[in-house]
Structure 1
Amino acid sequence: MKTILFLATFSLLLPACQEPARPVKERPVQIDTMQLVAPPAPLVKVASNEVYVVSRDSTTYIRFGDCYFSLDWITADPRRNDFEMHPDTLYFNLAHLRTIEGQMLAVTTGEAEKIRVFQCYETSAIIEKKPLLQWKHYRSPWETLIPEASNFFLCKKYTQAERTRFPPTSIHALQQHVKQHGSPAAYASVAQLDTFPSPSANVNISRYYIRLDGGDKKTADKINKLLIIDVNFNG
């Protein structure tokens, strides 16, 4: 009798043992952009009713309305920023030997409509590790940054040919400008040159521009912010 009962029980359990395991459905991965972009407790802070800028470690966070924007290796320029009178134009300095090219921009829109991001650059003549700000420049066209994911944009990288674009000029024009407006040391570095560009008077990207355009869902207000980021050649 025990043998019959054992065989009956075994026959009931056998199909259950042979039934294949059901695959576990994976949950989709979600990125919480607000968690990534919301500014931390401030170490360096500049604020107004329109703009709020806070830096923590190597990252700077910019808030305007319900939107947050973050980028590494930039710091607000207190000499040129006027967040009360000119909240739509923001000046930053880039850390020495750093670039925004290839960086991931994180933008949290909050109550704003979808933000569009544009990027361009400016080249200058570089002498004595300083750009000639009051002379000729090349300004590239605006280019739209395509989101890599929702609210994440990859800053454009530029080729060597793009980095050295410059308006037509002559070595004589450069020498005359530096003689009139530059320091004696700067003029001495270009006075004996026969060509431009050259190792002691080269051309490179001196400034990046990032523009953010959008609108508020609740009002008809437009969001237009221009970030001007100056390159640091001197450390």
Structure 2
Amino acid sequence: MIERRPFNSLGGADHGWLKAKHHFSFASYDDAKRMGWGALRVWNDDSIAAQTGFPPHPHADMEIITYVREGAITHQDNLGNKGRTVAGNVQVMSAGSGIRHSEYNLEPETTRIFQIWIIPDERGGAPSWGTKPFPAGERSGRFVTLASGMQGDTDALPLRTNARVLGATLKAGETARYTLDKRRYAYLVPAKGSVEINGVRLDPRDGAAIREETTLEVKALEDAELVLVDASA
């Protein structure tokens, strides 16, 4: 089962400095049919104006993954962590028992991100943050694991949940495949470009909610950049 969720059907908000689209219920957008997808709770498509951002605010008991699509995001938190994550790379914040952080676009142009929240397997624990570069060439024509809490994913940023966040870049006409346990919940969004996933067309920034599939075959109809989450129930 693959349910296409067109970009123009998503909830959202326009705060001037922040233009946000929500694949799932978030803040003032409330849709009882879109409260999450397995352990995946939030997928926000955010455009953040230059020299603006999210001032310090708290989180707890959530795995928060930021995938930077364009520009860069600068993180700072009350643990003393500070870092800048650029387009194509990810950062992971495990909120644990509680963390206070800010996320700013200190660049001269708009930054665009996917912000993904996944429910952790256990509550509490010491909070943490990390970022890591992932060379674009490694993702050419195939899915590469960017963040994971699944066994064997030693090169990815760690997550405290039985989930995996993957990225891929495809040239027009290329195909990438991913093997999926049919009991799990997957969600795929093309950051750029149109694709077909098991024959279902997705245009840029559409979502695909996937269940009871064992193989995902993604064909690029044009040059494309993809983000995929493989999550537990």
**What range describes the TM-score normalised by the shorter chain of this pair?**
under 0.3
Alignment TM-score, normalising by the size of structure 2:
0.25
TM norm structure 1:
0.25
Normalized per residue, the structure richer in strand is 2
